[in-house]
A and B are shown apart, each in its own frame.
Chain A
Amino acid sequence: MKALFAKPWIWSFVAAVSVWLATIGVTGGASTVGLSQAALTFAAFSVLVGIGQMFVITLGPGNIDLSVPATMALAGTVALKYMDGQNGLVLHGLIIAIFIGGGVGTLNYALIKALRIPPIIATLSMSFVVQSAAIWTNRGLRIKPPQVLADFTTSTSLGIPNIALVALLMSAVAWVLLHRTPYGRWIMAIGQSLPAARMAGIAVDGNRFVTYLFCAILAAICGYLLACFSGGAALNMGSEYLLMSIAVVVIGGTAVAGGDSNVPGIWGASLFMFLVVSMLNTYGVGAGVRLIMTGVIIITVILLASGRKDAIR
């Protein structure tokens, strides 16, 4: 029990569960199933982009991918356009989305490396270009997703939303990558100290490249699924995920300075972020207060996290 409470991610779950209880308390348990399923569904999207962003943040200070929303929009748009509502092309669409993610990730790291600019600027410039490409392909059309996919993303298996299952699968993969493979150790080493990692003989460029690739591909998959879930790709569908992807990483107990990440925290934080919104909605609080609460939570978490660091030293 004590070991459990020493985990940095436990607090996001404690917070999520308390908010969940507070919400169903008000409604008298009437909406428990509906609320939980909605929470799992919407959290799943945050989880998908959050995991990618977490891997990037693991690489250390200054590493952040600002091109996540643009990648989501482009992947969603192009995939839907290609599939054109035909059930037979579902896999093709997914592969196209993954390729788009791969392309954006590669270009991101190419810019970082070739122009020797901080990742924020590289991914920022890239996001402008990608966003434009998305606008250009979209042209305001709203193409419906293939029926199979629309059904898949909006329905549940054994009471759990399919989207949440996909996110759970990806989380498991991410957990294995992070904790059970040399790659995970290497990126955590790079995040703790880039010079030390280099001196330990780690192939720094290769690992950083793969990480940016991974982040962009996850964003692309998320865009693909989100477009199907919401019945068509919208250009701004990724916009709220820029800040959200960073927020869930921070609240989930991952070290913002890099080198110390955890996958479960992303789930706790994503559920928490959605549940706070629905709780405040239940209490009849407006969007303004909701946003302010979100900001206050992020700042409180980062202040607490910095206190924890002091305690160790």
Chain B
Amino acid sequence: MRISTDMLRIAVPVASLLLLLAGVFYLQPRAMSYNGLNLLFNLAVPIALATIAQMLIMAVNDLDLSMGTFVSFVACVAATYLHDTPILGVLVLLGAIATYAALGVIIYLRDLPSIVVTLGMSFVWGGLAVLILPAPGGTAPEWARAVMISKPPLVPMAIIASVLLAVFAHLLIMRSSLGVLIRGVGGNQRSVQRAGWSVIAARASAYALAACFAVAAGICLVGLTTSADANIALRYTLLSIAGVILGGGEFTGGRISPVGAVIGALTLTLAGSFLSFLRISPDWQIGAQGGILIIVLAVRLLLNRLESKGGAR
């Protein structure tokens, strides 16, 4: 039987998620319930959305250091304008998406390091967020709140949302022509250019799509927390990068996996709960996330080695 590389790429994150989940259920059988699962994965949904956004940027060989502040900014917009004056709120968010597309173009045209440009943007988004919401507060739009706390029968909302997100992102990025083009730019920009495509358009759409997912992340987050503040999602920058890598994505070469990214985000969220069930101090939650990242990367290196040794096809 032959295992495709895509399968192998996804196998490690799936295995780590299942392992953690098994551990949690073993330690705390009560988590194996509707409410238990919802609690475990609730906060994973916005992280997963932000991870998909980061993944799109990484698909074109860039990196977004402003993801956390951007999601915070969106959360602030959602808790104020989008709630009070929906039309203005939508316009602001559309403007933010257009800004992202423009960034993608400028970074390519001027050959700028994406890390530094997005670093600068992180101050800008952070500043805008503070201007909009100087103190924690605001109110989540009712519909966002309703969606996030809804209780569909049988399967909790957090699981449904994660699965839907994984399927949608997979169709968009792995199956559509646009997705192929974006990944092609990451894989071999010259040959995409040679075949007559516009690299500028491809990069602009990658950035714009990323912004759309990040906007969704911000709205989801507000739906869960009911109010926002300017620092609400700062951790997302590092978490989203970690999630992409954990899910089998790579820094360069357009090698990404949307399903893996969602699983990566779930794994990172679960790590914290697992520790608390182990009665290990929650101090180590972040450390566990780092540890999982290191272990998964080590396992992947090992698998690659084995594959290149055995796979002299």
A and B touch in the complex (CB under 8 A): yes
A residues within 8 Å of B by Cβ?
Answer: 61-62, 64, 66, 111, 114-118, 120-121, 124-129, 131-133, 135-136, 139, 243, 246-247, 250, 256-257, 286-299, 302-303, 306
Interface class of chain B by DSSP: helix
Q: How many residues of B contact A (CB 8 A)?
A: 44
Interchain residue pairs with CB less than 8 A apart (25): A114-B298, A116-B301, A117-B251, A117-B297, A118-B251, A120-B241, A125-B242, A127-B238, A128-B286, A129-B291, A131-B290, A243-B123, A246-B119, A286-B131, A287-B130, A288-B127, A291-B126, A291-B130, A294-B127, A295-B120, A295-B121, A296-B124, A298-B119, A303-B110, A306-B112
Contacts of B281 in A (CB 8 A): 136
CB < 8 Å neighbour of B130 from A133, A286, A306: A286
Asked whether any CB of chain A lies closer than 8 Å to the CB of B105, the reply is no
Interface class of chain A by DSSP: helix
Task: Assess A292 versus B287: contact at CB under 8 Å? Given A115-B294, A121-B251, A306-B110.
Answer: no
* Cα–Cα, bound, A124→B292 (Å): 12
Q: Which of A66, A132, A297 has the most CB of B within 10 A?
A: A132
Task: Assess A290 versus B127: contact at CB under 8 Å? Given A115-B294, A115-B297, A132-B284.
Answer: yes
Q: Are B115 and A306 in contact (CB under 8 A)?
A: no
Asked whether any CB of chain A lies closer than 8 Å to the CB of B181, the reply is no
Asked whether any CB of chain A lies closer than 8 Å to the CB of B128, the reply is yes
Asked whether any CB of chain A lies closer than 8 Å to the CB of B116, the reply is yes
Give the distance to chain A from B274, nearest Cβ to Cβ, in Å: 14
Contacts of A303 in B (CB 8 A): 110, 112
Give the distance to chain B from A179, nearest Cβ to Cβ, in Å: 24
Q: Are A127 and B290 in contact (CB under 8 A)?
A: yes
* Cα–Cα, bound, A294→B119 (Å): 10
Q: Are B288 and A132 in contact (CB under 8 A)?
A: yes
Q: Which of A117, A133, A306 has the most CB of B within 10 A?
A: A117
Q: Are B286 and A131 in contact (CB under 8 A)?
A: yes
Contacts of A136 in B (CB 8 A): 281, 283-284, 287
Q: Which residue on B lies nearest to A246, using beta carbons?
A: B119
